[in-house]
Structure 1
Amino acid sequence: MTDVAEARRFYAALLARQAGAQDPRIETAFATVPRETFLGRGPWPIIAGSATVMTPSADPAYLYRNMLVALDPEKGINNGEPLLHAMWMARVAPRPGEAVCHIGAGTGYYSALLSLLVSPGGAVTACEIEPSLAVRAARNLAPYANVKVVHGDATLLDLPASDVVYVNAGVAAPPLSWLDALKPGGRLVFPWRPTDAVGLAVLVTRTGAGFACEAFMRSWFIPCAGAADAGGAALLPTRETARAIRSLRLNRDGLPDDSAVAIFDDVWFSSSGLE
């Protein structure tokens, strides 16, 4: 195998190019953070469709490919696809000095990357509901002084005021607490999974007029505890209408109108932009 640092740099360069990242700090972050630190001892189980394949050895260079590494196979939890996260980070654009809340932090790899993107002066709150993963994340992220790990259900926690809320679990509709946590200009990115047929990454931006939103790519994650149930929805989207969303409205601010694409207890998605 090649030198691990060299493999990491090549991996980072490929991800940045494939993601179309304009911010060179994204490539630097992927080239800096050692993925193996967050995955435990090798060899590692690599997800290949419905099967897993073990790396031939514990050489960390095997990890520097765009592939999923299983963390808890029984629960379907993995380390996430690096290219997807490079694309998300390019879209949500964390900046130095900003506050990020990372929901579904797992063992902390992407929290570490986010911590570099908001440095200097920024901070990351890494939330993880699985006790064993939260313990591992706290250990793995100890060297990152601007990261705080919180074990708990992020749908029930009081989130800190955030410039970015970065969600890594499938959501039918974002809880009001996540939207309320956004500062002016704040961005919420999450996997929207209102039905089995719809799996889209959605970016919500808090503006002076409300919450603008767009579905920008396909995305599939395990369900988010406390926010994945769409059973009480008054209207659910189709694959086609889901892609037409332009704004996210709060029911407390006004009832849904004919532009509604999806209607939930607290929020609704509209195909109309903000005025």
Structure 2
Amino acid sequence: MTGSDEARRFYAKLMAAHARSADPRIEEVFASVPREAFLGPGPWTVFAGDGRVETPSADPSYIYQNVLVVLDADKGINNGEPLLHAIWIARVEPKPGEAVTHIGAGTGYYTALLARLVVPGGRVIAFELEAGLAARARQSLAAYANVEVIHGDAVATPLPPSDIVYVNAGVAAPPAAWLKALKPGGRMIFPWRPSERVGLAMLVTRMEAGFACRALMGSWFIPCVGASVAGPQARIPTRERAARTRSIWLMQDKAPDRTATAVFGDVWFSSRDIQAKSKR
């Protein structure tokens, strides 16, 4: 075993421990997927404090830590924090045979983890808007037979029916089409960024009675083109109101009422709990 292999195994153990998941496969996939294969040749630039630091060499051991690695400095695009993704992946609970849509796949590292977790029988459709990143993702994911990378706009393109929609770009609100793409019992996790003062990771579950929604943690991602700007009629929440959100509703199904915590176009957020059991 090389030093980088040992570093990756220890990193995987830490990620799984922080994720607090009962699924041993979380550690297995972090241990088996080489992060460096999705970052380009080293040395790499990572974020530290308010600045950036270059790794001393191209030894992969340096990127088996909870660090953001720069992919495109000019556009602010990074390979995100592994700890955040470990928590997110644990909460959406990918299972063998499930269909995943990954929005904002970058170069495909977290796509690869999701792909490993849905075999056998599962599939991942990965959207990436940046042409260069999409090309790199296709190359890096060529060995993953259950992954399709689409260079395209996930806001303008209909999503396939999905058990999981995994969003890695900040939205003022998830488009109604994303919610509709969820199968019964389907889960979506997305970075909610309705204003500069609000940045929350939100977990949505499609229940029989509607879309249950919970804030998980603070979160910041680069904006999602086409879904990151609130319209003039939007009702933008404070962070406190956003954190009280317990469900999301489609305007076509129900008009906003006194429980509304935020309103954006054809979707609105509510403090009302959804009690009905999921069809998972």
TM range (shorter): over 0.9
> Which amino acid in the other structure matches residue 197 of structure 1?
R
Question: What is the aligned partner in structure 2 of residue 178 from structure 1?
Answer: 178
**Counterparts in 2 of 1:42 and 1:174: CA distance versus 1, 3 Å:** same
State the SS of the aligned residue for 2:202. strand
User: Which residue of 2 is the match for residue 41 of structure 1?
Assistant: 41
Q: Deviations over 1:106-127 (max 9, x none)?
A: 0000000000111111000010
**Is 2:31 the counterpart of 1:31?**
yes
Cα deviation 1:239-262 (Å, max 9, x = unaligned): 111110011011111210000000
Residue type at the aligned position of 2:214:
E
Q: What's the counterpart of residue 134 of structure 1?
A: 134
Instruction: Return the offset for 1:233.
Output: 4.2
Seq. identity, % = 65
- Whole-Å separation in 2 of the counterparts to 1:73 and 1:156: 26
Indicate if the aligned counterparts of 2:192 and 2:199 stay in contact, CA closer than 8 A: yes
Q: Deviations over 1:110-151 (max 9, x none)?
A: 000000111111000010000000000000000111000000
Q: Please tell me the residue identity of whatever aligns with 2:240.
A: E
Match of 1:244 in 2: 244
Which whole-Å CA distance do the structure 2 matches of 1:233 and 1:193 have between them?
A: 17
Give the CA RMSD over aligned residues. Answer: 0.9
| Separation in 1, partners of 2:20, 2:274 | 28
Q: Is 221-230 or 44-53 further displaced after alignment?
A: 44-53
Structure 1 counterpart of 2:74: 74
Instruction: State the one-letter code of the partner of 2:171.
Output: V
Aligned to 1:96: 96
Moved over 2 A (4+): 231-234
2-structure distance, mates of 1:86, 1:233: 36
Amino acid at match of 2:263: I
Q: Does 1:161 align with 2:133?
A: no
Letter in 1 for 2:143: P
Q: 1:1-275 residue pairs with structure 2 within 5 A? A: 3-275=3-275
Q: Work out whether residues 200 and 219 of structure 1, in 8 Å CA contact, stay in contact via their aligned partners in 2.
A: yes
Q: Alpha-carbon deviation of 1:216?
A: 1.1
**Structure 2 counterpart SS, 1:23:** coil
Aligned length: 274
Q: 1:233, 1:265 within 8 Å by CA — same for their partners in 2?
A: yes
Q: What amino acid maps onto 1:224 in structure 2?
A: C
Q: What code does the residue aligned with 1:265 have?
A: G
Deviation (angstroms), 1:274: 2.2
Q: Report the Cα distance in structure 2 between the residues aligned to 1:157 and 1:272, rounded to whole angstroms.
A: 31
One-letter amino acid of the structure 2 residue matched with residue 139 of structure 1: Q
In structure 2, stretches of 5+ residues that fail to align are: 276-280
Give, in whole Å, the separation in 1 of the partners of 2:119 and 2:232. 41
Q: Which residue of 1 aligns with 2:278?
A: none
Calculate the TM-score normalised by the size of structure 2: 0.96
Unaligned residue ranges in structure 1 (runs of 5+): none
